[in-house]
Amino acid sequence: MRLFFALCFFTLFFSCNNEKKHYGDWTYDWSTSITEDGDVPSRVKISKDSIKFRYLYFDYWSSFPVKFSNNKLEFNGLKFKTKFDKDTLIFNKHFRVFKTNDTIVNSEFLREDNFVSINLPKIDSDFTKYKISNITYIIKYGQRRDNKQYSLNLNDKYSNFKDLKRFLHDHHEKHDYKSSILLFCDKNAKMLEIEKMLCWFQYMNKLKIALVNNININFDKHEPFYSYETLNLKLPPEIENDKYFSKITSNLAPPPPPFSLIKESNILILKLNKNKIFNNKKELDISELKALIEKSIRGDKLIISLYDLDSDYNSFMKMNATINLCYKNIRNENVLLKHKKAFDELNIEEQNSIKKEIPNKSIWNYSIPHFNSLIEENGNFLGLNINTIN
């Protein structure tokens, strides 16, 4: 009997002691990465009740409740076998992290002094799954760690909007015109600042942009990796508007796009004002907005969505995600009637045919002041005879 209790005691003691060895702050061992599916976490924090994974590019953590059993960690519905090799913790024989210390944290590679904190929108809609490549511009806009003020972050350094020109130019020199922008932006940031970025993207002719809605951490049998929900949009070429653009930068903009002959009666104008969406003077809830957009798409109307500079990025994302979702829904309806399957199941030629049949005719990147300034300076907006908006 004494032997039995002794064995139980030592088993419990060993189990508790082994569990506590997992606790602490761990840094990812980059030399052991084998995944090709996406970015991996830079750090892991383990406590009695939770395990947290730190995102690579800014201060963003994914947290899960955790359970310990023998040499296994259980979280997110998965079990990971663990073992220790000196100061290294190994998950499933592949994912390796080692104890974080001051030397590591202050190293040039992992230094976080200039990181920003970003609260992503996380809007419930149908978003594209984006995969980062080596020709992606990663641009972050969030709160500084030192004073909580909003700041642009380029190459892990606090930056000004004027620094975008050099950043985009240097990246272009290393890669090519096909590269796209992946924009991580705090949902509470004001459109007054976001507009400056959009204008710089246009000026530098970087028109493909993916607005990140959420980051999801995934787990395969080897190691965790991230995937991205994005709203993929394309900026139109900049219109000459020296008066307004000079407020953003001292540089002049490229030539305007071709003249348009669309009648004003065939245009839907949506306005985001103080985080509320209006058509004419009527405020729209989401269901009313969807119905109006779908009716306009079926009527082959041009959709112009404008925003005021006091609204926040989250409301801007909601409005444009709704427009994008309506186009997807109507294209899917068309595909089901013609091909009896979903749009994503079509080949490239079939998808392009549907896109030509139901083109995305939305203009999404103009603020109300910019829109009014264009009309005042040019007498029209993209060749359209439209009145300014109060």
* CATH code at position 96: 2.40.128
Contact 164, 196 (CB under 8 A): no
- Give me the sign of the Cα torsion angle 249, 250, 255, 256: positive
Residues 260 and 349 in one domain: yes
Q: Of 78, 102, 126, which one is at a domain's C-terminal end?
A: 102
Distance separating alpha carbons of residues 328 and 33, to the nearest angstrom: 36
Based on the domain organization, do 154 and 71 belong to the same domain?
A: no
Q: Are residues 265 and 370 in the same domain?
A: yes
pLDDT for position 135: 57
Strand order in the sheet with 78-85: 61-65, 50-54, 43-46, 24-28, 95-99, 88-91, 78-85, 72-75, 67-69
| 109: in domain | no
Look at residues 238, 273, 158, 248 and name the one whose alpha carbon lies nearest to residue 194: 248
CA distance 121 to 137: 20
- 130 and 90 within one domain: no
Tens of pLDDT, residue by residue, the chain (390 residues): 544 444 444 344 444 557 888 999 999 887 776 665 568 888 999 999 999 999 888 888 889 999 998 778 888 888 888 889 888 898 887 788 988 875 555 454 455 667 899 999 999 888 887 766 655 788 999 999 888 999 999 988 899 988 998 888 876 655 555 677 899 999 999 999 999 999 888 888 888 899 999 998 888 767 788 889 999 998 877 666 666 666 655 444 444 444 444 555 689 999 999 999 999 999 999 999 999 999 999 999 999 999 999 999 999 999 999 999 999 999 999 999 888 888 888 888 888 888 899 999 999 989 999 999 988 888 888 778 888 987
Structure letter (DSSP) for residue 311 = S
- The domain tally of the chain equals 3
**Residue 57 shares a structural domain with residue 86:** yes
Pick the last residue of a domain from 40, 69, 102.
102
Question: Is the domain of 200 the same as that of 265?
Answer: no
**pLDDT (0 to 100) of residue 120:** 95
Burial zone of 79 (CB within 10 Å; 0-12 exposed, 13-18 middle, 19+ buried) = exposed
Q: Measure the CA–CA gap between 318 and 197, rounded to whole angstroms.
A: 19
| Structure tokens that stand for 237 in this block | 């070429």
* Domain that includes residue 36, residue range: 19-102
200 and 148 in one domain? yes
For residue 108, being part of any structural domain is answered with no
Q: What is the pLDDT of residue 239?
A: 65
Q: Quick one: tokens of 3?
A: 């032997």
Q: Supply the DSSP symbol for 238.
A: P
Same domain, 148 and 70: no
Same domain, 142 and 186: yes
Distance (Å, whole) CA 187 – CA 142: 9
Residue 244 lies in a domain: no
Q: Hey, what's the torsion of the CAs at 60, 62, 68, 70, to 10 degrees? A: -80
240 beta partners: none
In a shared domain, residues 132 and 230: yes
Task: Considering only the C-alpha atoms of the chain, give the largest distance between any 2 of them, rounded to a whole number of Å.
Answer: 96
Q: Is residue 305 part of a domain?
A: yes
CA-wise closest residue to 156 among 169, 147, 167 = 167
Position 262 scores a pLDDT of: 52
- 368 and 261 co-located in one domain: yes
Same domain, 357 and 293: yes
Q: Which residue, of 68, 102, 136, is where some domain finishes? A: 102
Burial 358-380 (b: 16+ CB within 10 A, else e): beebbbbbbbbbbbbbbbeeeee
Domain presence at residue 7: no
List CB contacts of 289: < 8 A, sequence separation 6 or more: 270, 277, 319, 322
Is residue 124 a contact partner of residue 213, using CB atoms and an 8 Å limit? no
Q: Is residue 111 part of a domain?
A: no
Cα gap 235→145, rounded to integer Å: 31
Q: Considering the domain boundaries, does residue 6 fall inside one?
A: no
As given in the structure block, the two tokens for residue 116 are: 């920003």
